[in-house]
Amino acid sequence: MTEADPRGWFRLATHWYGRLLSLLLVVSVAILVVPVSLQIFSRFTEIIPHYIWTEEMARFLFIWSIMLGANLGIRDGTHFTVDLWPQLSRRGEAALTLLSGVFILAFAWLFLWWGIEFTEFAWNRISELAELPLWLIHIAWPITGGTWLMFQGERMYDSAGVLLGRAAS
C-alpha cells in the first residue's frame, strides 16, 4: 500500500489490525500447547505434578484462538461461507455478499451488545483455579463483535461499490 492508495487510512488500519490478529492467533495457539502438554504429560507420567490451572488456562486460550480465527475468517470472507451457488457474475457475488452480510452484521451486533454486558458481569470476578480476572476471557465477545462490524462493513462497502459500478479494491 502506498500513500496514493485510494483505499485510505481506514483500509490501512484494517490491514494492520488484521496482521495483528494473525500474529495474536499464532501466539495464542503456540502458548496453548504449553498447558495442554502439561496436562497430557502429568496424566501419563510421574515426571511432573498434576497442575490444576492448566485446564482453565487451556480453555481461556482456546476461546481466544477461536475468536481470533473467526475475526480473520470474517476479514477474508471465509468464516460464514458455504458454496451453494454456481459461478456468479461479479455483480451477483456482490449482491450475495451484501445479503449474507446483513446477517453477519446482526450477529456482530449481538456479540457486541451482549458481550459488553457479559464482560461487565465478570468485571470484578476471578476464575476458580488460576485466579485470573474473568473479564480477560469475557471481553473476547465484544471485541469479536466490533471486529466483525468493522471487517464485514468494509466488505459490504466494497460489494456496494461493485453493484453501483465503482471499481472495488
As for how many domains the chain has, the answer is 1
Q: Per residue in 82-124, pLDDT tens?
A: 677 778 888 888 888 899 899 999 999 999 999 999 999 999 9
User: Locate cell 487510512: which residue?
Assistant: 9
pLDDT at 138: 94
Please state, in angstroms and rounded to a whole number, the distance separating the CA atoms of residues 41 and 38: 5
Cell of 89: 457474475
pLDDT at 82: 66
Q: Which domain holds residue 35?
A: 8-163
Indicate the average pLDDT of the chain.
88
Where does the pLDDT of residue 167 fall: very low under 50, low under 70, confident under 90, or very high at 90 and above? low
**Higher-pLDDT residue of 152, 5:** 152
Does the pLDDT value for residue 168 go beyond 80? no
